Structure 1
Amino acid sequence: MEVVIAREDEIGELIADEIAGLLADRPDAVLGVATGSSPLRVYEALARRVDAGETSLARARAFTLDEYVGLPPGHPARYDAVIREEFVARVDIDPAAVRGPDGDADDLDDACHRYEEAIRDAGGVDLQILGIGTDGHIAFNEPGSSLASRTRVKTLTAQTRLDNARFFAGDLDAVPRHCLTQGLGTILEARRVVLVATGEAKAQAVAQLVEGAVSARWPGTVLQHHPDVTVFADEAAASRLELADYYRDTRAHRSLVQ
């Protein structure tokens, strides 16, 4: 696991550079996209590159991580709506090439199974963007999630609902209690993972993710078993890393490695 400590605006540019490089090599690459505040800088940087004609997502495909259950169509907090506003509408990807789990399905278990099949049929995710919750969840894999879990229905913790109430005008009662989410086992199958964490509220989760023991108590720690992960954290999110100076030194001298 590589750790990059950088300014929030720099993180967006670094990941956008990586995505642009992937698309240059594989224009039909499959991206895993995330909602929430963490990846916004990435989408902004990608949009600038598309507008400048420096990169294109016209042949790319994308899968989202999760979706609420029970929100009516058109609700602005639905992740389908959020990803289309924050990502799809700002770049040149075909909206039909972006798919998320179906939180409206009559048979939610079947919807989860079909979503797994869709990812496999696309050849898997080439690069997955992740954020991390204050309690260490990635996607909506809450503490206690199986480290081998697949896309499934999940009950949200009180902490996650409290954290997400800001997207519902502060109304905790309006935040759904259930969601569909890619599992930890599903996420681990992505060929490359980049995780973004900013702000002091994420510091404990980042410390556990990078330097803690692998445990279902902190679901994000499963990424320690992935062969190609980079954690991008700003100074606040990295403030509890005991080896922060080492990570800075590693990055500073990376160009010396042949």
Structure 2
Amino acid sequence: MEIVIVKDRAMVGRHAAGLIEQTVKSRPAAVLGLATGSSPLPVYEALEGKNLDWTDVSGFALDEYVDIPARHPQSYASVIRREVVDRLGLDGRRVHVPDGRASDLDAAARQFDGAIRETGGVDLQLLGIGTNGHVGFNEPGSSFASRTRVAALTANTREANSRFFDSVHQVPTHCITQGLGTILEARRLVLVADGTHKAEAVARAVEGPVTSMCPASAIQLHPWATVVIDEAAAAKLTMQDYYRQPASPVRTETGALR
């Protein structure tokens, strides 16, 4: 993994946006994996100021609540439309969100997973991380081989997401989420996090054992994963000095390494 530690939340957004910019410029018909929640918002804000051609870009959301109206302001269909499609000017017909109100939720999950594969797969998957180590809505205990599926939300996740609703009782109990196996098939993963409340989860994901009890630790298995975090989220990493070193040696004018 590449670990990038920057000063603050805004810089996390700008750095991750730069990686997405590189992807779209090198592949105009790129397929992006789109995350919701609070962590990715600075990324989308930073992308708004970039002069990119989004005409042929496609997107797949990580997840959606079950049994919430698509027009509800906190449905992920609404969040993706507001924060990504409308903000950046993507073609809404190319941006897909799981159908959490389908009459057959299992079939809807399978169809969504199949649609990702039919596009040729995700070029860059943006990820956040929950305080319990979840990515997407893959809660602790999720299989690393899991596909897009219906899943229950833990009390921890529902409490964390209650800030977007009037009370925790309004937070749906179930979701459709891309599985860890689905996520790991993306060609590149970019995980973003900021704040001291994410420090423990980040440390477990980056330096802890690869375990289903910290689903985000699955990124250690990926050949091209970048973690972009601010100083606060990096606070519990034990190898901060190492991560701050350049990816390759820097030579002085005399040719000596420094």
Q: Provide the TM-score with structure 2 as the length reference.
A: 0.94
Higher helix share: 1
Shift of 1:187: 0.1
- The range that moved more, 71-80 or 218-227, is 71-80
1:178 pairs with 2:179: no
- The range that moved more, 118-127 or 72-81, is 72-81
Shift of 1:92: 2.0
Q: Match of 2:4? A: 4
* Aligned partner of 2:64 among 64, 67, 85: 67
1:58 pairs with 2:55: yes
Query: Contact (CA 8 Å) 2:16, 2:192: kept in 1 or not?
Result: no
Q: Which runs of 5+ in 1 are unaligned?
A: none
- Flag as ranges the 4+ runs of structure 1 deviating above 2 A: 253-257
Shift of 1:87: 1.1
Equivalences for 1:99-114 in 2 at 5 Å?
99-114=96-111
1:92 pairs with 2:89: yes
Shift of 1:254: 6.2
Shift of 1:20: 1.5
Q: Which runs of 5+ in 2 are unaligned?
A: 252-256
SS at 2:210 equivalent: coil
Q: Match of 2:189? A: 193
Instruction: String of CA shifts for 1:172-214, please: whole Å, max 9, x gaps.
Output: 1000000000000000000000000101111110000000000
Shift of 1:96: 0.7
Shift of 1:73: 3.3
Instruction: Count residues with an aligned counterpart.
Output: 251
Q: Provide the TM-score with structure 1 as the length reference.
A: 0.94
Distance, in Å, in 1 between the alignment partners of 2:93 and 2:182 is 22
Distance, in Å, in 2 between the alignment partners of 1:74 and 1:46 is 24
- The range that moved more, 153-162 or 4-13, is 4-13
* Aligned partner of 2:206 among 204, 210, 218: 210
Query: Contact (CA 8 Å) 2:71, 2:77: kept in 1 or not?
Result: no
Instruction: String of CA shifts for 1:5-54, please: whole Å, max 9, x gaps.
Output: 002212211222221221112110000011011111110111111xxxx2
Equivalences for 1:121-140 in 2 at 5 Å?
121-140=118-137
Q: Match of 2:150? A: 153
- The range that moved more, 149-158 or 9-18, is 9-18
The two structures, once aligned, show a CA RMSD in angstroms of: 1.3
